[in-house]
Structure 1
Amino acid sequence: MKYLLVLLFSFFLASCDDSPDVKALQGNALGTTYTIKYFSSEASIRPSDISSLLDIINASMSTYIPDSDISNINAGDTSIVVDNHFQSVFRASKRIYEDTGGYFDPSVGLLVNAYGFGPGGYSEEVTDQDIDSLFQFVGFESINLTEMNRIESSKSTLYLDFNAIAKGYTVDMFGDYLESKGSENYLVEIGGEVKVQGSNLESNSPWVIGIELPLEDGSREIKYGVKLYDESLATSGNYRKFRVDAETGQKYVHTINPKTGKSQKTDILSASVIAETCTDADAYATAFMAMGFEKSMEFLSSNQDLQVIFIYSDKSGNQKTYISEKLQDSVEEF
């Protein structure tokens, strides 16, 4: 769901073989791409391990794989015993659902699909009445993980969609893998979600991540560079992933407001979140897009462990940027 970050290492693909200590891995993951850069003398970090980890996570939580655990659960199979990855993402989702007052809600999957942002594509026959009828099945409070590690719901229909948190979680798992192999300086990125540890030893400087302006014309312009220190960063926005109805011309954004069930654009154009884990950064960025600027600021006033960069529209329609106070010295405007 995120396409908003550009990694600021133009040197990344160049001369990786010039130094025996810097390694690079790239590939496809979760419907997008991944990039891993690490510094280690260990020879035991293998691309096949990354592929195996991706296969396990996909088999557990990908709604795009018909026979994954989550797809079977969404189809009504109550016998599925979910694995540790599913359990971890479910518990993190439940925590953030409660923390945000329901603005992060993985049970909106039916609505995501209805608006054409899921694995099934879009049907022109979907009406507002259809959306309203699906909305009755939204509400993560009705879905629980049992002691037997099965999913149960008090509603007759459920459809879980972890796409707004799974990329961040997978980034964390890649990081854990690298650390288990002795790497203390690395960068992991999947579809714009980033986790860094240590520093960039090629330049002897902190890792720097670029944040783009929210431009809907398809052009790309980096607006800010953010220095990260053993942190994660995720960005969410609606300026790349949206759909325009061919008949009415109405624009539908991929952010679904769990409070209304609507594809709803707020005054936040892009929300970048810096947190200890990429799992949290990913989920909170999604929640802030649904909350809007005022509610997000109220939330942050009592949750100061999260740092943010919001690019938003003020009441006059002017584009503004809010940067958390603790980030001021780590952000450079280009």
Structure 2
Amino acid sequence: MKRAFITGITGQDGSYLTELLLGKGYEVHGLVRRSSTLNRSRIDHLHQDPNLHLHYGDLTDGVSLVNLVRAIEPHEVYNLGAQSHVKVSFEMPEYTASTDAVGTLRLLEAIRAADLDCRFYQASTSEMFGATPPPQSESTAFYPRSPYGAAKLYSHWVTVNYREAYGLYAVSGILFNHESPRRGESFVTRKITLGVAAIKHGVTDKLVLGNLDAVRDWGYAPEYVEGMWRMLQHDEPQDYVLATGTGATVREFCAAAFAHAGLDWKEHVTYDQQYERPTEVDALIGDASRARDVLGWEAKVHAPELARIMVDADLEQLGRLLGR
């Protein structure tokens, strides 16, 4: 039985990856931060699986990582843990750097110190491209426009360095925006679909957003965790972009989400400058040709269908809460 260690197991990607690996017969170990309240709603439905094991630790605590890696002896490590909100990274740059940048270094060092023969996946991000015009591929120049993007760029390059310096099987998946009904409520796609549900159910009449002109390449998270797994099954380690190859503005995603609920977004959406970033990323559209050609991976769900999936889930969830 293969053993996998996942940081960020309670997040969107971590929960879908856990389902995928358990379905493939893995023993899955997850890193959970200790806090005064439990935040495991995304994996609660898996807690009775005997092959799922949760451990307390933190990417900002190197000792806990060393101890866990030595105890678990994983065959595969997926580093999905991060402070992943771009806007928040401007408000908490030092914490973002400690978790997203140095946290990766701590984990790589823990693996090296334990002399493990394992495969390592680093969750890189399209935000590393930042101001570089699309389409963006593995050979595109990086130009991050946020503390989050800069921290992730450090992680990306230190992963490459450990691969080249120490012969680790280490890869970075440069994933473009990928969403789902499990997306955090402060991310714009989920904020939109939650807003649609609240308006449709009569809870509110308005949704406040920031930049409607930003272009993003939005895919479906369950498909993207399949891509992560495929990266670690290939004979040779290399980095891959995962993306749909098509872009949509926030405005277009918003229009699709409202239309699916029979609403006109123009009647409900208002603008507030406080939701703008200090430095904006105008357009991210990925070229996932390498992943298609080498891994046989290709995105099936694009932004319009994604909007429908998320709206349906949030309508149902809010309806249950309201007793409807």
Give the helix-richer structure, 1 or 2.
Answer: 2
Give the strand-richer structure, 1 or 2.
Answer: 1
User: Same fold by TM (over 0.5)?
Assistant: no
TM-score w.r.t. the length of structure 1 is 0.30
